[in-house]
Amino acid sequence: MENKQIHNPTRSELITDFVKSNPEYYIKEFQKIGSKPSFSFSFNLYAGVLGPIWFGMRNIWNWALAFLIIETFSVVQIIRGLFGNITKEAVEKIKQVESTIAFRNKQLEAAITNNPDKVEVYKRNIKSLEDAMQGYIDEVARIEASAIWITIFGIGLLITVKVVQGILANSILEKRYSEWLSDKTLRPGMQVKNFVSSTMFAAVIMFFSVVHYSFPGVIALMDDFPTHPDIRLTSIKWVETIFDYAVLKGDALFTAITIGIRSVLDFLELLFVKTPWIVIITTIVTLTGLAAGPRAAIYSAGFLCYMGFLGFWVKAMTTLALLGTAAVLSIVIGIPLGIFCARRQRFYSMIRPIMDFMQTMPAFVFMIPVIAFFGTGKVAAVIITMIFGGTPVVRLTVLGLRGVPETIREAAIAYGASKWYLLRKVDLPLATPSILAGVNQTVMLSLAMVVVASLIGAKGLGQDVLEALQYANVGQGILAGVAILFVALILDRVVQGRKRV
């Protein structure tokens, strides 16, 4: 049997496959660029002339956009200086002043005949308007005189950016080539669609920018986005109809959720608020000492004494109950959900946009549907806190479990480990640091919602901060804010779960 030799493409063949056009030139330039660790001068005439279109053809869109913005600005300056209506605003002001002067002259003529006492007033008014118009006339003259300098600046900037593009093009393309060698999923460009898309993109941006800034008002459509009030009113009506239907049909579900959250919240409020303060302090200090060491325990005791002596004890415990409810429910739901998603990429891809929405949507926006479904009060505050702070534990649980080395898992499977044993004895122990980091982030983000939640009746320390903002009470706001900070520090030390010497 004949041995078939595998052909390994040479560097020249790889460059040819990458650049598509004019390979001899790029083989020589890439060789020159790669031969020096420092910058090696190389000039690409086509990149300098075509500019953003060349970078778009090469599928280097980040540089294409940057250079297109600069080139568009320079072309706008050239067109404005040569042909643009740069005095439009000043001329319109002159016309307005002329119209006002004409009206005042008519009033002056009427006053000479009927009301001589007003004559001097109208004369002074007309004189001031004429002075203002003369100022606008002088401004028009200055603007017209500056047109040549605007043009010169635009030409100089355009030439400069063209030269810079030509100098940087081969170095940028060589870097792109190096990335392509290690990741063949990157598209090298030089396809028909790249040429068409880059040309159309540059032409649209350039044309409409030049028309808008050089000849304002020529295309009225560009001044305001074409819309109609009925579109917004209809959309509002549809949204309200959907929410009304959901509230009506989901009443049983929302009631059950409210009862569940209320049960946990009432238990924690009873535990933190009704329990004697000395028991709470002893317990928290002991937990902090066991988790983070004696130094953290001393700090924790000092923080708790600060809350007690300044009268924040009950509100701090209420905040802890609210935060504990949201954090416990987020962790109880988030960790199993993360475990489920870790080995099911398709399901995780489905819920990831939902988590992105939960994290990026401003709190005041998703507060609206929560209030519509659950009303105001502590239950709604818990749900808002869960929405804002519940996603990190899911993401970091998935990240930790996916970071478990496959060799360790394969070894455990080879020794007969079941899926349940593999999860308990291999995956979770190795993923614990990442999961704990997710728990910590969930707790901290939940605490960040304390002030926002007080807007809908959550009370606690956030209420003092909110009142301080409303009445500009600096002292109260600072003291309550420091109390919230101390609550965060105590929770951080307890949740971290490792001693700090």
Share of the chain above pLDDT 90, in %: 5
Asked whether residue 501 carries a pLDDT value surpassing 60, the answer given is no
Q: Which residue ranges form the domains of the chain, and what is each CATH number?
A: 11-222 (no CATH), 240-496 (1.10.3720.10)
Q: Is 383 left (phi over 0), alpha (psi -120 to 50) or beta?
A: alpha
What's the CA gap between 272 and 287, in Å, rounded? 15
Alpha carbon distance 452, 111 (integer Å): 62
Q: Are 56 and 64 in contact (CB under 8 A)?
A: yes
Q: What contacts 215, CB < 8 A, 6 or more positions away?
A: 84, 85
270-308: burial string, b at 16+ Cβ within 10 Å, e else: ebbbeeeeeebbeebbeebbebbeeebbebbbebbeebe
Q: Which phi and psi angles does 158 have, rounded to 5°? A: -65, -45
- pLDDT(494) > 80: no
Closest to 366 (Cα-Cα) out of 442, 445, 452: 452
Return the pLDDT at 440.
83
Confidence of residue 157 (pLDDT cuts 50, 70, 90): very high
Is residue 326 over pLDDT 70? yes
**How would you label 456-491 residue by residue, b for 16+ Cβ within 10 Å and e otherwise?**
bebbbbbbbbbebeeeeeeeebebbbbbbebbbebb
Per-residue pLDDT at 287 exceeds 50: yes
- Token pair of 476 as six digits: 């109260």
For residue 385, the SS3 value is helix
- pLDDT at residue 10, as a whole number: 82
Residue 319 has pLDDT above 60, yes or no: yes
In this prediction, residues 127-155 reach a mean pLDDT of 81
State the Cα–Cα distance between residues 191 and 199, nearest whole angstrom.
Answer: 12
Q: What is the pLDDT of residue 7?
A: 59
Q: Select the highest-mean-pLDDT range: 125-129, 195-199, 289-293.
A: 195-199
pLDDT band at 165 (very low <50, low <70, confident <90, very high): very high
Among 10-14, 241-245, 415-419, 494-498, name the one with the lowest average pLDDT: 494-498
Residue 383: Cβ within 10 Å count: 24
| Tens-digit pLDDT profile for residues 339-397 | 888 888 888 888 888 888 887 887 778 788 888 888 877 888 888 888 888 888 899 99
More confident residue, 450 or 298: 298
> What DSSP designation does 412 have?
H
278 has pLDDT over 80: yes
Average pLDDT over residues 191-216: 84
Residues 240-258 have a mean pLDDT of 84
- The rounded mean pLDDT for the chain is 82
pLDDT at position 500, please? 42
* pLDDT for residue 112: 75
**Max mean pLDDT range (119-133, 162-176, 448-462):** 162-176
Helix (H, G, I), strand (E, B) or coil at 405: coil
Q: How confident is the model at residue 1 (pLDDT cuts 50, 70, 90)?
A: very low
* Chain segment 471-487, per-residue pLDDT in tens: 778 888 888 888 888 88
Q: 115-119, 293-297, 400-404 — which is least confidently predicted? A: 115-119
pLDDT at 455 exceeding the cut of 70: yes
What integer pLDDT is reported at residue 499 of this predicted model?
Answer: 42
The predicted pLDDT at position 201 comes to 87
Q: What is the pLDDT of residues 59-107, one digit of tens each?
A: 888 899 999 999 999 998 888 888 777 777 777 777 787 788 887 777 7
Distance (Å, whole) CA 91 – CA 88: 5
Share of the chain above pLDDT 70, in %: 96
pLDDT at 209 over 90: no
**Which of the residue ranges 16-30, 212-226, 238-252, 284-298 would you say has the lowest mean pLDDT?**
212-226
Residue range 242-265: average pLDDT?
85
> Which candidate, 257, 254, 256, 307, places its Cα nearest to that of 280?
307
Mean pLDDT across the stretch 430-450?
Answer: 83
